[in-house]
């Protein structure tokens, strides 16, 4: 599936979290019974924009205060009454602090609860390692009945939120704080269990998602100058993973590199490695956080410091192709 559009302006930068509140309002406008349940961060998560879109929408936002466990239980109750309940907090609290309720209340009963926190990954920046959630994808993809989406830009975040609303049962949507350039056009549509081939290549398959998509595309341009033709796959849906597209690609290229703004343990890299090991073993390399916490700093500084930027992807891809 290719979703690049001609109306893209990479100079326009918006955070994926900015899509949250306005998209909920659009869904409500279309007649969907969406509600938002927040844990005292309505401004940061942008659920306040949903509540302020129309006077009647203010009654659809439930602020539970600093009580993430209660937030999930309130969302579960609303789901049982026929609502599509979206929860909002920082990812470190919205998944870590509320894990038991997500697992045993929302997922065990397959309730129509959407876990949609913001401020995931090191893009939280100056808030530091305590707030930079790097284990959330691992936590969420391990729970039965949960689907996991990691959009790359504002437009794909809008599409991911809509997809979650259209999908019955629990869905996790990972959103970030950092402003990122456009990857997709405004009319992009995402499908559960799919991926997007953003660039075709013959020498190495680079599989990424979230903020790493921009880095992967930049890396592909640099690699092309060095005679390496990289194929770029946006695995925005980590669970269920689009194994078929990945396997077709590595059958062609003979090697795979996974880049994620997440721990290398339990996230996209593990999901891809599992699929490749079972279906078509090839050499693999991984760009991600290496079993460490983050640090306080600006987003771009941290991406370079931790080896998550285009430069790191180029280095890993070159080493992989040399050893292939």
Q: Which of 319, 320, 290 is nearest to 306 (CA)?
A: 290
Q: Higher confidence at residue 12 or residue 5?
A: 12
Question: What SS3 class is residue 146?
Answer: coil
Question: What SS3 class is residue 131?
Answer: coil
> 86 has which bridge partners?
36, 114
Contact yes or no for 68/35 (Cβ under 8 A): no
In this structure, which topology does domain 13-181 adopt according to CATH?
Answer: Rossmann fold (3.40.50)
> 171 has which bridge partners?
114, 147
Q: Which of 157, 154, 137 is nearest to 146 (CA)?
A: 137
- Per-residue model confidence as pLDDT tens digits over 54-91: 999 999 999 999 999 999 999 999 999 999 999 999 99
Give the domain ranges of the chain. 13-181, 196-323
- Per-residue model confidence as pLDDT tens digits over 114-162: 999 999 999 999 999 999 999 999 999 999 999 999 999 999 999 999 9
- Residue range 175-190: mean pLDDT, rounded: 94
Helix, strand, coil percentages (3-state) for the chain, rounded to 5, are: 45, 20, 35
- How many angstroms separate the CA atoms of 143 and 269, rounded? 17
**pLDDT reading at 191 higher than 70:** yes
- How many angstroms separate the CA atoms of 148 and 158, rounded? 15
**pLDDT reading at 4 higher than 70:** no
Q: What is the pLDDT of residue 7?
A: 61
Same fold for the domain at 13-181 and the one at 196-323?
A: yes
- How many angstroms separate the CA atoms of 95 and 135, rounded? 9
- Per-residue model confidence as pLDDT tens digits over 36-53: 999 999 999 999 999 999
Under CATH, which architecture does the 196-323 domain have? Answer: 3-Layer(aba) Sandwich (3.40)
Residues classed as catalytic? 68
pTM above 0.85, yes or no: yes
| pLDDT band for position 1 (cuts 50, 70, 90) | very low
> 147 has which bridge partners?
171
């Amino acid at each position: 599936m290719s979703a690049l559009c001609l109306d893209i302006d990479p100079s326009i930068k918006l955070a994926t979290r900015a899509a949250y509140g306005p998209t909920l309002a659009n869904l409500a406008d279309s007649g969907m019974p969406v509600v938002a349940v927040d844990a005292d961060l309505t401004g940061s998560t942008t659920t306040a924009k949903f509540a302020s879109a129309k006077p009647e929408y203010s009654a659809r936002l439930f602020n539970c205060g600093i009580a993430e466990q209660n937030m999930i239980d309130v969302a579960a109750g609303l789901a049982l009454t026929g609502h599509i309940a979206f929860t909002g907090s920082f990812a470190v609290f919205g998944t870590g602090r509320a894990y038991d309720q997500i697992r045993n209340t929302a997922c065990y009963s397959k309730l129509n609860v959407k876990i949609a926190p913001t401020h995931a990954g090191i893009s939280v920046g100056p808030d530091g390692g305590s707030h930079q959630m790097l284990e959330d994808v691992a936590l969420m993809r391990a729970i039965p009945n949960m689907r996991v989406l990691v959009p790359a830009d504002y437009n794909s975040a809008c599409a991911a939120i809509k997809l979650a609303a259209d999908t019955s049962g629990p869905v996790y949507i990972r959103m970030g704080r950092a402003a990122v350039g456009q990857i997709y056009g405004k009319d992009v549509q995402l499908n559960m269990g799919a991926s997007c081939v953003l660039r075709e290549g013959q020498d190495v398959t680079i599989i990424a998602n979230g903020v790493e998509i921009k880095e992967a595309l930049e890396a592909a341009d640099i690699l092309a100058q060095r005679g390496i033709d990289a194929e770029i796959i946006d695995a925005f849906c980590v669970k269920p993973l689009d194994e078929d597209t990945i396997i077709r690609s590595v059958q062609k290229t003979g090697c795979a590199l996974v880049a994620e703004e997440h721990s290398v343990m339990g996230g996209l890299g593990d999901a891809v490695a599992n699929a490749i090991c079972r279906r078509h073993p090839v050499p693999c390399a991984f760009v991600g956080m290496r079993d460490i916490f983050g640090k306080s700093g600006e987003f771009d500084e941290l991406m370079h410091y931790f080896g998550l930027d285009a430069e790191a992807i180029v280095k890993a891809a070159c080493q992989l192709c040399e050893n292939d």
